[in-house]
Structure 1
């Protein structure tokens, strides 16, 4: 769990977590569940989860619980291999790069999804089926943009790693061949 002290920001909903594991929404003055937290996330509602006693920020911990509940719910997003790979990044030199890399890729995929949703308004199921079977240039363009963004993020990460390696080697008086 995260032990960082944090207050709420203006306009941010405050959820208090009590020792009995219950979550209390201070805006609605009601107890809520992880399902309610998921709804807040889906609505892009700004919120923070604070420990009722200490004031520690528990938001990340609660979001991880929501993910765990979703993963256990029948249609998991992550395979065991992906989860094992994520765990392996902890404590490694790549750990500091992995979070931003994943975040940028998820953002790029979200943008592709939003563009697809905008372009698909008013489509009937038959039109959508035909659209998908033709593999329209628009879809190829959107996916190409995603792949290009992903490649650029990876290249930036690789470049940063190379610079860090050169700094470390330089600190020991070594140069790369």
Structure 2
């Protein structure tokens, strides 16, 4: 059981250490009807750019509607993505966006979300590994390293492709199990 300070002690601790007042160590951002975002840690209004920085800093946070306490975090993260996509060099092509839209309401929607999540995590792990290895490289070696033709880069990309393939195979196996369960429930065996 965790102890949360109350009363004046809580106010004093939250001023000294904003994380002490956080529920579950998660920073709380409140969204008001005027569409402004209020950071309860800093007691100030923040922008989507600052929300992006929280993400970049791996800061755990939740965005809540100030009136209803509804979790709006996904909505705000989508707004950050929209800002990024329209401001500079987009990650998603029109074709990718159209394909993602096609999965909404489709029987494969849950599988696609899981597959994308696993692949992005695999890619983030690869990026982290590359960053760690690049710290020990000289600029010349770094240039060779990021060259797609280098054996080290080919090995890392091969690992990524293998992990991506495994994630896809797991998705297919899950679909197979779900289909078999559904057929069995209807009295049809395969």
- Common fold by TM > 0.5: yes
Q: State how 1:88-103 maps to structure 2 within 5 Å.
A: 88-103=102-117
- Alignment check: 8 A CA contact 2:31 2:37 kept: yes
Instruction: Report the CA distance between 1:62 and its aligned residue.
Output: 0.3
Partner of 2:126: helix, strand, or coil? helix
Structure having greater relative contact order (Cα 8 Å, sep ≥ 6): 1
| Structure 2 unaligned spans of 5+ | 1-21
- Alignment check: 8 A CA contact 2:147 2:153 kept: no
Instruction: Report the CA distance between 1:106 and its aligned residue.
Output: 0.8
Q: Which residue of 1 aligns with 2:180?
A: 166
2:127 to 72, 96, 113: 113
**Deviation larger for 25-34 or 125-134:** 125-134
Instruction: Report the CA distance between 1:160 and its aligned residue.
Output: 1.0
Bigger Rg, structure 1 or 2? 2
| Structure 1 unaligned spans of 5+ | 1-7
- Alignment check: 8 A CA contact 2:85 2:91 kept: yes
Partner of 1:10: helix, strand, or coil? helix
1:22 to 36, 47, 69: 36
Separation in 2, partners of 1:123, 1:22: 44
Q: State how 1:25-174 maps to structure 2 within 5 Å.
A: 25-133=39-147, 135-174=149-188
Separation in 2, partners of 1:132, 1:22: 42
Taking structure 2 as the reference length, what is the TM-score of the superposition? 0.83
Instruction: Report the CA distance between 1:135 and its aligned residue.
Output: 2.7
Q: Which residue of 1 aligns with 2:16?
A: none
Separation in 1, partners of 2:88, 2:41: 32
> Which structure shows the bigger proportion of residues in helix conformation?
2
Partner of 2:38: helix, strand, or coil? strand
Q: Aligned-pair RMSD on alpha carbons?
A: 1.6
1:133–1:59 Cα change, 3 Å:
closer
- Alignment check: 8 A CA contact 2:145 2:153 kept: no
1:19–1:132 Cα change, 3 Å:
closer
